[in-house]
């Protein structure tokens, strides 16, 4: 019998996924992406071992993550204290599950939701499932380091004014590029209108623990938020926190009973103890050393910027990227741009170049590389990153202007525009609709049955039930030609209503 810790090549060949992961892990690659624990290296040995042996079920001695009464409840209460909420729950299915729970409890079946177009795909799915009445908030504020637009207090107020019955507002902040909405002012506006503010803070779980970071949703006065602990903290995938503010509970804007009712509807009945334990660990670690660790990473960022070729433009250490911009950004979401025009190599080319050198970054669009440092990222790996990027540029012979191909402008226009003809996404996803797959040329003017979202960042360009107009089809075809990975679309064509 083979020893499991010394598998032969023949045995490994019978397990393709195990084999592939084993090979990748064996390469000792450098990580600038989620999850925020750098391949487990940020956990102490004793905890890594515990994660395997503590993969337990609900027993009289272990408590229940969905109905916590003992140690799990104690851990969630301590998380509420640390993150500044009135009530915190551990979610072991990511912010995706957290958003489903939150929106189901706050908006309900057929309820009205005010939201910008650029939301994560998980919001589309719960809106479809719950037949929500969707009203749009315009998003037209941009940071030079982000592709996605943000909402402003003015645009939120305008949407509330136009929809007097619209009580629940959802905002994503920070977004994938680290761009933040002005949450303190938005919370004031929403509450003035008697509404409820929910925040998709999937990318901002670290905000409560650093002085030089934007305010967290809880601190800014939001009523509830979800945070993907696994994206920026030492938390196992897909650990997330769901926080409800104390004032939302005391004013009755949100109800703890409703949360307890909705949580088991969407969270698996077998939530992972290791994932929940890692959420507990990260909270304790952040309370002890979070502030110091964050300050150290910001210092590393300064050093990195000084080493990087001046042909790159790297996002600053400061929360305020431009004097004229009203938007704050997360300085720990490192965005490296190439220039104001599209150049060769593109950011996507550089991502591939880095990957070939064993350096994995989170994402690149055509113009920007997006990197997520761990809170324990080593000085040496910051230096390696600067050296590798500089070498890739010089090897490629430097920048060659390729003309502004307007990909950014098009992406931004399409992500915010609401198509003319639309069926409710729920009707199309769950109704008795016949669908066919067609070539791009035959797709124009047809109704998409799929959510189509370049991934990452998973923000849909087309929702199920929306018309595929020529500009959207052409743009998506171009993205595919540029090897973008797109949820809901592949080389075989578009799924549309028959």
Ligand X SMILES: Cc1ncc(COP(=O)(O)O)c(C=O)c1O
**Segment lying near ligand X (by CB under 6 A), choices 13-21, 90-98, 138-146, 304-312:** 90-98
Helix axes 347-356, 379-395, angle to 10 degrees: 120
Residue 128's Cα: distance from chain center in Å? Answer: 20
Kindly state the smallest distance separating residue 171's Cβ from ligand X, in Å. 10
Q: Smallest Cα–Cα separation from 365: which of 300, 329, 409, 332?
A: 409
**Segment lying near ligand X (by CB under 6 A), choices 88-96, 134-142, 357-365, 415-423:** 88-96
Q: Which of residues 156-175 bind ligand X (CB under 6 A)?
A: 172
Q: Which of residues 214-233 bind ligand X (CB under 6 A)?
A: 228
Q: CB-wise, 107 or 389, nearer to ligand X?
A: 107
One of 42, 63, 182, 200 touching ligand X (CB under 6 A): 200
- Beta-ladder partners of 242: 89, 226
Kindly state the smallest distance separating residue 172's Cβ from ligand X, in Å. 5
- Contact between 96 and ligand X (CB under 6 A)? yes
Contacts of residue 479, defined as CB under 8 A and 6 or more positions apart, other chains included, come to 454, 486
* CB neighbourhood size of 382 (10 A): 24
Q: Which two tokens stand for residue 39?
A: 């391949």
Question: What whole-number distance in Å separates Cα of residue 26 and Cα of residue 19?
Answer: 10
Question: Which residue in the shown chain puts its C-beta closest to ligand X?
Answer: 94
Question: What whole-number distance in Å separates Cα of residue 82 and Cα of residue 143?
Answer: 30
316 burial type by CB count under 10 A (0-12 exposed, 13-18 middle, 19+ buried): middle
One of 104, 240, 298, 392 touching ligand X (CB under 6 A): 240
Question: What whole-number distance in Å separates Cα of residue 472 and Cα of residue 132?
Answer: 25
- Contact between 234 and ligand X (CB under 6 A)? no
Question: Running DSSP on this structure, what letter comes out for residue 91?
Answer: E
Q: List the end-to-end C-alpha distance of the chain, in Å, as a whole number.
A: 55
**Segment lying near ligand X (by CB under 6 A), choices 19-27, 94-102, 265-273, 274-282:** 94-102
Q: CB-wise, 425 or 457, nearer to ligand X?
A: 457
Q: Which of residues 173-192 bind ligand X (CB under 6 A)?
A: 176
One of 457, 460, 464, 488 touching ligand X (CB under 6 A): 457
One of 94, 204, 331, 425 touching ligand X (CB under 6 A): 94
One of 111, 146, 149, 238 touching ligand X (CB under 6 A): 238
Q: How many residues bind ligand X (CB under 6 A)?
A: 14
Element (H, E) at 481: helix 470-481
Q: Which of residues 372-391 bind ligand X (CB under 6 A)?
A: none
Kindly state the smallest distance separating residue 105's Cβ from ligand X, in Å. 17
Residue 411 phi/psi, 5° resolution?
Answer: -60, -45
Residue 103's Cα: distance from chain center in Å? Answer: 17
Q: CB-wise, 38 or 95, nearer to ligand X?
A: 95
Q: Which of residues 111-130 bind ligand X (CB under 6 A)?
A: 120, 122
Question: What whole-number distance in Å separates Cα of residue 253 and Cα of residue 102?
Answer: 13
**Segment lying near ligand X (by CB under 6 A), choices 92-100, 269-277, 341-349, 372-380:** 92-100
Q: Which of residues 3-42 bind ligand X (CB under 6 A)?
A: none
Q: CB-wise, 38 or 122, nearer to ligand X?
A: 122
Give me the residue label for tokens 């800014």.
220
Q: CB-wise, 101 or 342, nearer to ligand X?
A: 101
Q: Which of residues 137-156 bind ligand X (CB under 6 A)?
A: none
Q: CB-wise, 94 or 195, nearer to ligand X?
A: 94
- Contact between 278 and ligand X (CB under 6 A)? no
Q: CB-wise, 274 or 457, nearer to ligand X?
A: 457
Dihedral Cα 14, 272, 176, 129, nearest 10 deg:
100
Q: Which two tokens stand for residue 146?
A: 């982000």
Strand ranges inside 345-424, DSSP E: 359-361, 363-364, 368-371, 400-401
Can you list the alpha helix ranges (DSSP code H) found in 64-194? 71-83, 94-106, 121-129, 153-162, 183-192
Kindly state the smallest distance separating residue 94's Cβ from ligand X, in Å. 3
- Contact between 362 and ligand X (CB under 6 A)? no
Contacts of residue 130, defined as CB under 8 A and 6 or more positions apart, other chains included, come to 103, 104, 107, 108, 109, 110, 111, 426
One of 458, 480, 486, 493 touching ligand X (CB under 6 A): 458
Kindly state the smallest distance separating residue 35's Cβ from ligand X, in Å. 10
- Contact between 253 and ligand X (CB under 6 A)? no
- What residues make contact with ligand X under the rule CB under 6 A? 94-96, 120, 122, 172, 176, 200, 202, 228, 238, 240, 457-458
């Amino acid at each position: 019998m083979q020893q499991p810790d010394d598998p032969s090549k023949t045995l490994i060949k019978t397990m393709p996924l195990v084999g592939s992961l084993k090979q990748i892990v064996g390469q000792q690659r450098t990580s600038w992406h989620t999850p925020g624990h750098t391949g487990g290296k940020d956990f102490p040995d004793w905890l890594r071992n515990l994660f395997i042996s503590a993969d337990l079920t609900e027993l009289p001695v272990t408590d229940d993550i969905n109905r916590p009464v003992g140690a799990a409840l104690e851990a969630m209460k301590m998380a509420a204290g640390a993150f500044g909420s009135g009530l915190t729950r551990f979610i072991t299915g990511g912010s995706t599950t957290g958003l489903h729970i939150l929106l189901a409890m706050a908006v309900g079946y057929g309820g009205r939701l005010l939201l910008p177009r650029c939301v994560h795909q998980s919001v589309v799915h719960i809106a479809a499932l719950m037949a929500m009445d969707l009203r749009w908030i315009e998003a037209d504020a941009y940071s030079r380091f982000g592709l996605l637009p943000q909402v402003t207090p003015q645009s939120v107020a305008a949407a509330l004014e136009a929809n007097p019955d619209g009580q629940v507002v959802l905002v994503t902040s920070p977004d994938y590029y680290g761009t933040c909405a002005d949450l303190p002012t938005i919370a004031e506006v929403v509450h003035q209108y008697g509404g409820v503010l929910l925040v998709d803070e999937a990318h901002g779980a670290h905000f409560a623990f650093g002085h030089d970071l934007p305010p967290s949703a809880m601190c800014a006065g939001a009523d509830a938020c979800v945070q993907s602990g696994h994206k920026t903290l030492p938390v196992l995938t897909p650990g997330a926190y769901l926080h409800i503010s104390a004032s939302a509970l005391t004013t009755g804007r949100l109800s703890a009973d409703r949360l307890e009712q909705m949580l088991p509807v969407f969270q698996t009945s077998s939530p992972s103890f290791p994932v929940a334990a890692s959420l507990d660990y990260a909270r304790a670690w952040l309370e002890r050393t979070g502030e110091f660790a964050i300050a150290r990473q910001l210092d590393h960022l300064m050093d990195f910027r000084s080493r990087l070729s001046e042909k790159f433009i790297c996002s600053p250490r400061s929360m305020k990227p431009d004097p004229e911009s009203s938007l704050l950004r997360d300085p720990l979401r490192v965005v490296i741009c190439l220039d104001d025009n599209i150049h060769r190599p593109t950011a996507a080319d550089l991502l591939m170049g880095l990957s070939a050198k064993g350096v994995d970054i989170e994402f690149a669009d055509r113009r920007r590389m997006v990197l997520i440092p761990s809170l324990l990222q080593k000085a040496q790996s910051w230096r390696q990153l600067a050296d590798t990027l500089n070498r890739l540029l010089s090897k490629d012979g430097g920048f060659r202007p390729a003309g502004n191909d307007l990909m950014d402008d098009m992406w931004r226009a399409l992500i915010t525009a609401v198509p003319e003809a639309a069926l409710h996404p729920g009707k199309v996803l769950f109704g008795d609709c016949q669908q066919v797959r067609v070539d791009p040329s035959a797709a124009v003017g047809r109704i998409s049955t799929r959510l189509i979202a370049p991934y990452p960042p998973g923000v849909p360009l087309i929702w199920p039930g929306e018309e595929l107009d020529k500009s959207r089809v052409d743009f998506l075809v171009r993205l595919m030609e540029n090897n973008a990975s797109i949820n809901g679309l592949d080389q075989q064509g578009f799924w549309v209503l028959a």
